[in-house]
Amino acid sequence: MLRNPELRRALLVGGLLTFLASAAAMSLSGWQAACVALALGTVLLVLYGVELCCRYRAMARLAADIDAVLHGSGDIHLADYGEGEVSLLRSEVRKMTLRLREQSAQLEKEKLQLADAMADISHQMRTPLTAVNLLLTSLAGHVDEESRGDVRALRRQVARMDWLVESLLKLAKLDAGTARFCPETIPLSALLARAAEPFAIGMELRGQQLQVEASGNVRCDPAWTAEALGNILKNCSEHMQEGTITVRAEENAVASVVVIRDTGGGIAPQDLPHLFERYYKGENAPEQSVGIGLALSRSIAAAQNGTLTAANVPGGAEFTMKLYKGIV
């Protein structure tokens, strides 16, 4: 308690006043009056110190209760306290706690409602999309060669719409915390092969090469993580012409790290701070881009106790995903 500056000031001022009162009593009425003044001042100082200690103990209990509330393992019980300034403060903190909990519960409810709404919309949209795909497949056999190009373009747009609906549904699930992750330990090489497989033909047609160096394992949900890495590979491929995408992955004592580097000239400085924002499109983004892929990748990494960052390096851009083995 002596570390408390308020208590030290009170003892200093009270001691000085007691000494002055004792000196004045001695000069006016002798040493007996001085002893009485000294004793009275000492008693008052002791009583004040005891009252101050009790007050700060109550404030320490209040601070401990608030800390328990913040960590979700406790509550503030007003019945344990009586009248006074500390009890008044506790009452106001209790009101604030109840209000914040109500708001938190309401936000969680709205997130769940949004996820349910997105699931319903996705289900309703897939029915006509499937029908359109079937009609286009049937139509392709009854049109001339010139019109078949238009049919293929329509099929690409339908596939893009289907991917967009699926991505929005996944983002809503991640936001609401309803996405199901099934972590397992797999080799990093197998995870990267799974992530790169859908883009192998497209990269070959663009004259791009993929170089992978992987060692060690990773603890993650293979499907979700492969999609996150696939979105990064897709972004790198779309922002470069002929060139090489290099992927290095390794496991260390803290995390499993995947570094993806391209030779596309890098990210515009004004785009770099907003790269992982939803629906953000940079000045060099492809026309078909909607700005969801990288945001989804970061959300997937964060949901698995990981991080995803981007930076410019000589000749291109570099993405680093870290999936930590423990909470850091």
Per the domain annotation, does 285 fall within a domain?
Answer: yes
Regarding whether 190 and 162 lie in a shared domain, the answer is no
With bands split at pLDDT 50, 70 and 90, how would you rate the model's confidence at 63? confident
pLDDT in tens, 271-283: 888 888 887 877 6
Regarding whether 203 and 310 lie in a shared domain, the answer is yes
Instruction: Indicate the DSSP class of residue 175.
Output: H
Instruction: Tell me what pLDDT residue 2 has.
Output: 57
Instruction: Tell me what pLDDT residue 69 has.
Output: 67
Regarding whether 288 and 259 lie in a shared domain, the answer is yes
Instruction: Tell me what pLDDT residue 77 has.
Output: 58
Instruction: Tell me what pLDDT residue 117 has.
Output: 73
Instruction: Tell me what pLDDT residue 195 has.
Output: 92
Regarding whether 310 and 205 lie in a shared domain, the answer is yes
Regarding whether 311 and 225 lie in a shared domain, the answer is yes
Q: Which of 78-82, 228-232, 300-304 has the lowest mean pLDDT?
A: 78-82
> 208-214 and 243-251: which strand pairing?
parallel
With bands split at pLDDT 50, 70 and 90, how would you rate the model's confidence at 47? confident
Contact predicate 294/235, CB 8 Å: yes
CA distances from 11 to 2, 22, 157, 179 (A): 10, 16, 80, 60
Structural domain including 275 reads 184-324
- Residue 68 identity (one-letter amino acid): A
Regarding whether 291 and 188 lie in a shared domain, the answer is yes
The residue with tokens 């699930």 is 173
How is the chain split among helix, strand and coil, in percent rounded to 5? Answer: 60, 15, 25
Q: Which of 37-51, 74-88, 192-206 has the lowest mean pLDDT?
A: 74-88
Per the domain annotation, does 152 fall within a domain?
Answer: yes
CATH number of the domain encompassing residue 307: 3.30.565.10
Structural domain count, the chain: 3
pLDDT in tens, 82-120: 555 656 666 667 777 777 778 877 877 877 777 777 777
| Residue finishing a domain among 31, 49, 75 | 75
Measured over the CA atoms of residue 282, residue 287, residue 290 and residue 293, the dihedral's sign is negative
Regarding whether 167 and 188 lie in a shared domain, the answer is no
Q: Please compute the mean of the pLDDT values over residues 40-69 and round it to a whole number.
A: 74
Question: Residue 233 corresponds to which tokens in the numbers above?
Answer: 């590979």
Give residue 157's region: left, alpha or beta (phi > 0; psi -120 to 50): alpha
Regarding whether 151 and 273 lie in a shared domain, the answer is no
Per the domain annotation, does 96 fall within a domain?
Answer: no
Regarding whether 162 and 208 lie in a shared domain, the answer is no
